[in-house]
Structure 1
């Protein structure tokens, strides 16, 4: 019987090619989308799980509370805590600390590259983390000062196919820097897996840093922030008991001169929460978004549901064609269960064919998903057993769900009624099909509206007035090179002579790049010296006018005031408010102390968005410190930009032959913060478009079948004088009404969903009514275009053919 069921199923598929094609393509796209989304979600959830001791690795999260009781949580913290917790907690087996991400110019022969993704790291790194070492001893590789471990790809870049162990790389080239010196390659490791919450291209021994700055690791160095601290706990480690011991630990170890205006604490966070669940600032790498995973999972479910709805709609609408077959089968003894099993078998055959096509679609479009998502996804993702288990379950579930209602309907036909020819579609079946069509287009309208909102928000990110000028700013990265900083004014003057260069400034930071915090005391509104730790920009005298900052009070730094170099400070409006001055003019002339410097506040710049628009503008101090600069920012004219950049590059190579000409544009640097958002937009748009396409496929099938069922009615109306316009309106009006109902339902639901997504941005648009109206009209127009060919064909048909007796 099973063989017979499969044979009958295949005959029905072959006989009804149009109906079968729509179902197979719709289901295949739905299953392919689900598999692609499953691969993406699995990849996001797999971060850091390759470590052997992943369940026993934790990291320190540093908690800072200021006098206003505002608490901040940072992964980036002090150095002394590493040795202290190892000494005080026997349940900690190994501690590994590493610095903030470091940039270093490495040279080997005539090869030189500025490596941006480098860390100083303790020798215990390979005892805690499960990175694969290809050559060298992992236990001693980072033990000695000026040792370096290279990843495989970095080693090949410098040494090709040679064995690099024991060879040297010249690093730093900036006198006085901890990273300057001759490094010996002690090990080569496999490239860090892409599903790691932080990655790197090389590791420098932390002992190099410790030798250069021993003061920041001693018991008085708790205020110096530049390290990440991870540890491997014993198998019987209890996080709750550990947390209970922290207060006593801090009493024993914090220096006695702890800042009275701020409170320091810490807690621990499991490694497996680092990528997806951590909300702390100053991460060593990028973070994922659990919300985005939910959104894509829901979209995948929507797409599959739309495909299932198509199947159910078409199957129930065509039930009349199978009615006599059911009647005959029941008459000769087929039971209800036999019929249900038969129709379920037919459905599973369709789903099986669809699943094969879906796998082919996944293999074809996986590279596009990799590009859209910005993730390292490849065909090896298809080897994951969990992914295939999900796909198999989804395929079977889809087949059973899509076939359940049609099978039950067909199995319940009364054989006497259908064999008399008096059976017709029930009102219940018609109502169900209408409900399913409304459901389909509710989802489609919601996804289109969501796409409009996402595009509008990200358009604002690119075009919002940020309070500074980021266009036409050419940024040269020379990585703190002392040969540049010692001749800064001369180099700036030479570059400024170019006919297309309007101004030049130097700074440690530009918007979109790294910046530190600075413990700063300023006389508050109540007359006391209060300390906060605002973010810090170390700039030269030309920085404020060069990037177009506006003054809210006081003045900018000036060469006319020599005291500015050591006795003046400029802050932003948010910093003035933090010290209690709602009117920025009132803080002008107030005393300050910051990093060994004392003087008065001379100016307040208007708040500008130096952070991503995901975050509110934070307090900022702009310290005049050109000797700490890393970047030169050139304000250049728009005309002949490529020629200008080439000319400046040639001039740079003459002025600073020891440094490569590494440049970027300030707007690109800043927009790089939104890379994850733009990836989200691409994925959201692509999957939304697929959902609408599948919905339109189903609509096309329904309209085609409706036109076939109403052939005689159309013929009679044409004979009685109905125009083509009247007939098209007749065939389309029912669907337009259903789309209007879908719009009314989808609008409030999608508005609430997108409002929640927009809350991730400190500065966001408000969803507008026109966005949802646009989504509704777009859906209606796409639906009309979809059905227009079939309705026009039916309306133009010769009534003689349709009215001729069978």
Structure 2
């Protein structure tokens, strides 16, 4: 019997090749999309799970409590003394590991000279807490001595090739005031940090190097330049630990009126579950995980509905087979098992095709979203078992409806040539189409919102010039800062260069915070912690910042070098001045500099549009600068870049010429948003395509049912246009119902997604009108294909049996 079922299934697949191809490919595409989305979600959820003690690792976040008792926002980047204090006060903490903010340094071995942009000063306990595999050297002592360095495998090959680097030295330069200059002994080589780590690096320097050069900051609770992680033992209770934090703060913080506090965060939340600022690396978005998971379920559901509709569309062709089988003794259970078996066979074939699609698409997926996926990493017994279970359920669900419909045919009516489907079945199919297109319209609306929001981010006036702005990174090199005026003078001789300025920070990049006191309206000195951009003389005019009060720095005022301060409007409001002109002339005290405020610039977006504009000061400190910013003309860009390189080789031959464009650097903040847009749009389009296959199936089914009706209408004089309108009208009603259902759902979902942006678009009704029109157009095109084919059919053929 089962052999017969297999033969019949095979013959049916071969008999209707086009239907079989659409059925198998449509379901395969849905399964492939679901698998690819699963791989993406699995990768996002796998961050930091490779650490053996992942469930026992926590980190400290730093914040301030307000007068009403609320706390936040929190930073991960904080002071150094908190680590030893926690270890001393809490016996449930086994190990503490601290590391500095990222330290980009110039490393060299002979003529091999590179600026490493992923380096941290790290505690010797790093390998006790984190599970990084050391290939050569002793992990216990690798970071113990000052001027020790641990290289990743890739970095080691870059400097030493295939030689064993342990025991050899690399020369290091200064790094952001951390006194990193000196000869570093390579004490260990470790495997490259896994890609699914919330922070990654190319090399680790001993934290004792930093401690030796600047011991004072390791006792200053107000100095910010350290990340603190710790490993707890079995006696650790998170709730009890948190309840002890206020007493811990009181014991250790002696500053009057201090609102400083800390919180703790488990490592498992570091990538997807954190709201803290100043992360040591990248973070993901749990809301994006939910969105893609829902899209994956939508696509699989649409593919299953598509399979049901296409199978049902062919049911009339197999009605006589069902009638004969029933007449010779087959009961409904046998027929259901036959058709469910055929369904599972198609699912198996679709799964094979889906896996081929996945393997083929993976390299493109890597380029598409910037993540490298290796299918071997997902081939585990757990994943295989889960996949087989899901595919079995898909086969049973997708085949259940066609099986029940086909097995329910009345054999007497079938063999008499009467084959009417029940109204309930027709309503079920219509409901499935409404469901399909509700999902499709929601995805279309979501795509429009995502595109409009990203256009807002990329095209909004940020309040500063970022076009044709070349940024040369020399990493705080004192020799370059000493030659800054010579570089500026020489470069500005080039007619293709508009202006040159120097700064420690650029919009979209790193910036420090400083405790700043400014005279308030009542005459008292009011202190606040806030971002600062340490800048050179021409920063304000070079970046096109608008002055709203006072003046900017000028060579005509020698005192500007130490006794002047420029800030933005938000900073003026922070200190109590609604009119920025009122703060000009007020006293300030910041990081050892004291004087008066000389100017206020209009607020500009120096961070991504996920955040509102913060108070910002722009102290004049040319010797603290890191970047040379060059505004160039668009014509002859390549020649200009080469000319700048020649000047750089003459005046700063000891450093590599590293440049980038500010607009590219700034937009890099939206890397995850752009990836989200690409993935969302791609999978939305695939879902709509699969839904159209389902609509084609139902249109085919309806046209088959009304073949004789169409023939009679043509004999009585109906033209093609009227018949197409007749066949399309019901489907258009279904799509309009789908628009009504999808609109509130899509509005709510996308409004929630937009909450992650400080600057966001308004969702206008036109978004849903446009989504509905697009869906309607797609539906009309899909239905018209079958409707026109039916309308053009020769009525003689359809009426021959009458």
Superposition TM-score tier, normalisation by shorter sequence: over 0.9
Secondary structure in 2 aligned to 1:593?
Answer: strand
Single out whichever of 120-129 and 59-68 deviates more from structure 2: 59-68
2:221 is aligned with 1:222:
yes
Counterpart in the other structure of 2:187? 186
8 Å contact kept, 1:316–1:429: no
Distance in 1 (CA, whole Å) between partners of 2:587 and 2:177 is 32
Deviations 1:365-393 (A, max 9, x none): 11222222222212323324443333222
**Structure-2 residue corresponding to 1:197:** 198
Deviations 1:487-513 (A, max 9, x none): 211221111111111111100000111
Q: Decide whether aligned partners of structure 1 residues 701 and 313 sit closer, same or farther in structure 2, where only a CA change above 3 A counts.
A: closer
Cα displacement string for residues 313-355 of structure 1 (whole angstroms, at most 9, x for unaligned residues):
2333433333333333334333333222222111111111111
**Residues 18/111 of structure 1: CA separation in 2 closer, same or farther (3 Å cut):** same
Q: Offset at 1:177?
A: 4.6
Would the alpha carbon gap of residues 749 and 173 (structure 1) be closer, same or farther in structure 2, given more than 3 Å must change? Answer: closer
Distance in structure 2 (CA, Å) of the matches to 1:718 and 1:412: 33
Deviation, 1:89, is: 1.8
How many angstroms does 1:174 deviate by? Answer: 7.0
Alignment partners' CA distance in 2, 1:602 and 1:334: 95
Match of 2:111 in 1: 110
Aligned residue number for residue 250 of structure 1: 249
Q: Which residue of 2 aligns with 1:80?
A: 81
TM superposition shift of 1:739: 1.6
Q: Provide the secondary structure at the position in 1 that maps to 2:77.
A: coil
- The 3 A distance-change label for structure 1 pair 781 and 405 is same
Deviation at 1:176, TM superposition (A): 6.7
| SS of residue paired to 1:211 | helix
Counterpart mapping for 1:734-753 below 5 A: 734-753=730-749
Residues 95, 293 of structure 1: alpha-carbon distance in 2 compared, 3 angstrom cutoff: same
Q: 1:385 to 1:530 in 2, by over 3 A?
A: farther
Question: Offset at 1:418?
Answer: 3.4
Alignment of 1:300-699 (within 5 A): 300-699=296-695
Structure 2 partner of 1:762: 758
Preserved contact between residue 105 and residue 175 of structure 2 (Cα < 8 Å)? no
With over 3 angstroms needed to count, the CA separation of the structure-2 counterparts of 1:440 and 1:188, relative to structure 1, is: same
**Secondary structure in 2 matching 1:267:** strand
SS of match in other structure, 1:534: strand
Structure 1 position 731, deviation (Å): 2.7
Q: Deviations over 1:222-249 (max 9, x none)?
A: 0000000111111222122222322232
**Superposed CA RMSD:** 1.8
How many angstroms apart in 2 are the aligned matches of 1:545 and 1:70?
Answer: 38
CA offsets per residue over residues 110-152 of structure 1, 9 Å max, x none?
1111110110001110111110111111111111111110000
* Whole-angstrom CA distance in 1 between matches of 2:64 and 2:87: 22
CA distance, structure 2, for counterparts of residue 429 and residue 705 of structure 1: 12
Query: Which deviates more from structure 2 when the two are superposed, residues 490-499 or residues 309-318?
Result: 309-318
**After the TM superposition, which of the residue ranges 360-369 and 167-176 deviates more from structure 2?**
167-176
Match of 2:729 among 733, 736, 740: 733
Q: Quick check: 1:42–1:387 contact (8 Å CA) kept in 2?
A: no
Tell me the CA shift for residue 70 of structure 1: 6.5
| C-alpha distance in 1 between matches for 2:32 and 2:166 | 46
Deviation by residue 1:224-278 (Cα, 9 ceiling, x = unmatched): 0000011111122212222232223223222x3x152x41111211111111101
Q: Is the 8 A contact 1:370 1:378 kept in 2?
A: no
Closer/same/farther in 2, CA of residues 222 and 635 from structure 1, 3 Å limit:
same
1:133–1:189 CA contact under 8 A, matched in 2: yes
Is contact 2:178-2:214 (8 Å) kept?
A: no
Decide whether aligned partners of structure 1 residues 643 and 66 sit closer, same or farther in structure 2, where only a CA change above 3 A counts.
Answer: farther
Q: Which residue of 2 aligns with 1:48?
A: 48
How far did residue 585 of structure 1 move?
1.6
- SS of match in other structure, 1:522: strand
Render the CA deviation track for 1:460-479: whole Å, top value 9, x for unaligned.
11110001111011111110
Aligned 1:113-262 pairs, distance under 5 A: 113-172=114-173, 177-218=178-219, 221-254=220-253, 256=254, 258-260=255-257, 262=258
Equivalent position of 1:38 in the other structure: 38
- In the alignment, is the contact (CA less than 8 A) between 1:117 and 1:200 conserved in 2? yes
Instruction: Indicate yes or no: 2:95 matched with 1:99.
Output: no
Deviation at 1:179, TM superposition (A): 1.0
Q: 1:102 aligns to what SS in structure 2? A: coil
Equivalent-residue separation in structure 2 for 1:268 and 1:144 (angstroms) = 29
SS in 2 for 1:73: coil
Q: 1:10 — aligned with what?
A: 10
SS at match of 1:525: coil
Residues 259 and 571 of structure 1, relative CA distance in 2, 3 Å threshold:
farther
Task: Please give the alpha-carbon distance, in whole angstroms, between the structure 2 residues aligned to 1:395 and 1:531.
Answer: 62
8 Å CA contact 1:175–1:482 kept in 2: the answer is: no
How big is each residue's C-alpha offset from its partner over 1:171-197, in whole Å with a ceiling of 9 and x where there is no partner? Answer: 115797521111111111000000011
Most deviating of 198-207 and 77-86? 77-86
In 2, the alpha carbon distance for the partners of 1:176 and 1:182 equals 17
Contact 1:66 1:532 in 2 (8 A): no
Q: Write the distance in 1 (CA, Å) between the matches of 2:206 and 2:608.
A: 33
Pairwise CA distance, 1:563: 1.5
Distance 1:673 1:387 in 2: 34
- Whole-Å Cα distance in 2 between the matches of residues 411 and 251 of structure 1? 77
Alpha-carbon distance, 1:445 to partner: 1.2
User: Unaligned 5+ residue runs, structure 1?
Assistant: none
State whether residues 211 and 218 of structure 2, in contact with CA within 8 Å, keep that contact through their aligned partners in structure 1.
yes
Q: Which one of the candidate residues 291, 294, 305 is aligned to 1:295? A: 291
- CA distance in structure 2 between the aligned counterparts of 1:30 and 1:3, rounded to whole angstroms: 29
Tell me if the contact between 2:436 and 2:691 (Cα under 8 Å) persists in the aligned partners: yes
SS at match of 1:714: helix
Describe the superposition over 1:506-546 as per-residue Cα deviations: whole angstroms up to 9, x where unpaired.
Answer: 00000111001110111223432221111110001100010
SS in 2 for 1:447: helix
- When structure 1 is superposed on structure 2, of 358-367 and 701-710 the one drifting more is 701-710
TM-score (norm 2): 0.97
* Deviation readout 1:628-686 (Å, 9 max, x if unpaired): 00001111111111111111111111111001110111111110100100000000011
Superposition deviation, residue 722 in structure 1: 2.4
Distance 1:227 1:608 in 2: 28
Deviation for aligned residue 1:66 = 5.5
SS at 1:107 equivalent: strand
**For the Cα contact (< 8 Å) 1:174–1:482, is it kept in 2?**
no
* Aligned-residue offset at 1:710: 3.0
State the SS of the aligned residue for 1:209.
helix
Partners of 1:591 and 1:600 within 8 A in 2: yes
* Aligned counterparts of 1:40 and 1:372: Cα–Cα separation in 2: 12
Question: Which stretch of the first structure deviates more once superposed, 44-53 or 793-802?
Answer: 793-802
> 1:51, CA displacement in angstroms?
0.7
**Structure-1 separation of matches of 2:419 and 2:785:** 30
What is the TM-score normalised by the length of structure 1? 0.96
Residue range with higher mean Cα deviation, 421-430 or 95-104: 421-430
Q: Secondary structure at the match of 1:671?
A: helix
Q: Alignment partner for residue 696 of structure 2, among 693, 700, 704? A: 700
Q: Bigger shift: 724-733 or 426-435?
A: 724-733
Residues paired across the two proteins, number: 801
Deviation at 1:67, TM superposition (A): 6.3
Name which of 269, 272, 276 aligns with 2:272. Answer: 276
1:569 Cα deviation from its structure 2 partner: 1.1
Confirm or deny: 8 A CA contact 1:570 1:602 kept in the other structure.
yes
